[in-house]
Amino acid sequence: MVYLFIGQDSLSKDTQIKKIKQEFLKPGLEQFNFDLLYARDLTLKALQERVLCLPFKSPKRVILVREAQALKEELKGFIQDFSCRPNKDIVLILDMDRQDARDKFPSRLHRDTKIFHIKETVPADAFTLSRQIALKKPAYALRILSQLLSKGERPERILGGLRYAWEKDNSPALARKRKLKLLLNCDIEIKTGKLKPVFALEKLVVSLCGPG
């Protein structure tokens, strides 16, 4: 039984891993039936030794390999073979922060391997919004904006946060001037009631993510 977690949201991954441990490890005996290993320092012999250990008064042994993106090729080969051979005693969990697009290791695992792609939870704040705007990602920026507004963040605080972020920006002077002009126009549209705050902010985000 093999689980593979891919993603940088450590909290979400640890929550899922905890559920697996609770399912397969007998309470009070975790220290005897759980191994935490790190791929960077892991040798083939060390992993093989852990796999050969039998559970102690528990349904399973659980082996967790952190930083699995750093696994050596011989270890990947061993784990690939392991995933294809049923083992009633061992649950192997691989924790991978990221997957190199050129690395075919996950696709070579047995089809019964449970693979979870954990999306990173990005904090919703003005600085995150500013970064998504700088990356020209309007859909993502609008999602962050929606989260800010749903949390009750006031439009003037959002504009203030953007202004503060841009004051520390190293972009060319012309680009900074354009940003501040669009921000000022948005502020005026909100204060004069020309547009509802949500529409004015959405217009601002889309304009900032456009050419220029």
Q: What pLDDT, in 10s, does the model give residues 82-106?
A: 999 878 899 999 999 877 777 788 8
pLDDT of residue 79: 95
Highest average pLDDT, of 1-15, 101-115, 179-193, comes from 179-193
Q: Judge if 113 and 42 occupy the same domain.
A: yes
Q: Judge if 96 and 163 occupy the same domain.
A: no
Would you say residue 2 has pLDDT above 90? yes
Percent of the chain with pLDDT over 90: 49
Out of 117, 148, 164, a domain closes at 117
Out of 64, 92, 117, a domain closes at 117
Q: Is 0.75 surpassed by the pTM of this model?
A: no
Average pLDDT taken over every residue of the chain: 88
Structural domain of 131:
126-209
Out of 98, 117, 136, a domain closes at 117
pLDDT of residue 98: 79
The closest of 110, 46, 102, 38 to 70, measured between CA atoms, is: 38
Q: Judge if 8 and 111 occupy the same domain.
A: yes
Q: Phi, psi at residue 140, to the nearest 5°?
A: -70, -40
Q: Judge if 109 and 56 occupy the same domain.
A: yes
* 3-class secondary-structure state, position 194: coil
Strands 114-117 and 90-96: unpaired
Q: Judge if 112 and 135 occupy the same domain.
A: no
Q: Judge if 108 and 130 occupy the same domain.
A: no
Domain count of the fold of the chain: 2
Q: Judge if 101 and 134 occupy the same domain.
A: no
Q: Judge if 82 and 171 occupy the same domain.
A: no
pLDDT of residue 173: 78
C-alpha pair distances (Å), 165 with each of 169, 173, 178: 7, 14, 14
Q: What pLDDT, in 10s, does the model give residues 50-75?
A: 999 999 988 899 999 999 999 999 99
Which has more confidence, 185 or 99?
185
Q: Judge if 108 and 133 occupy the same domain.
A: no
CATH number, position 131: 1.20.272
Q: Judge if 94 and 14 occupy the same domain.
A: yes
CATH number, position 107: 3.40.50.300
Which has more confidence, 122 or 189?
189
Q: Judge if 111 and 181 occupy the same domain.
A: no
Q: What pLDDT, in 10s, does the model give residues 111-150?
A: 889 998 887 656 678 888 888 888 888 888 898 898 888 8
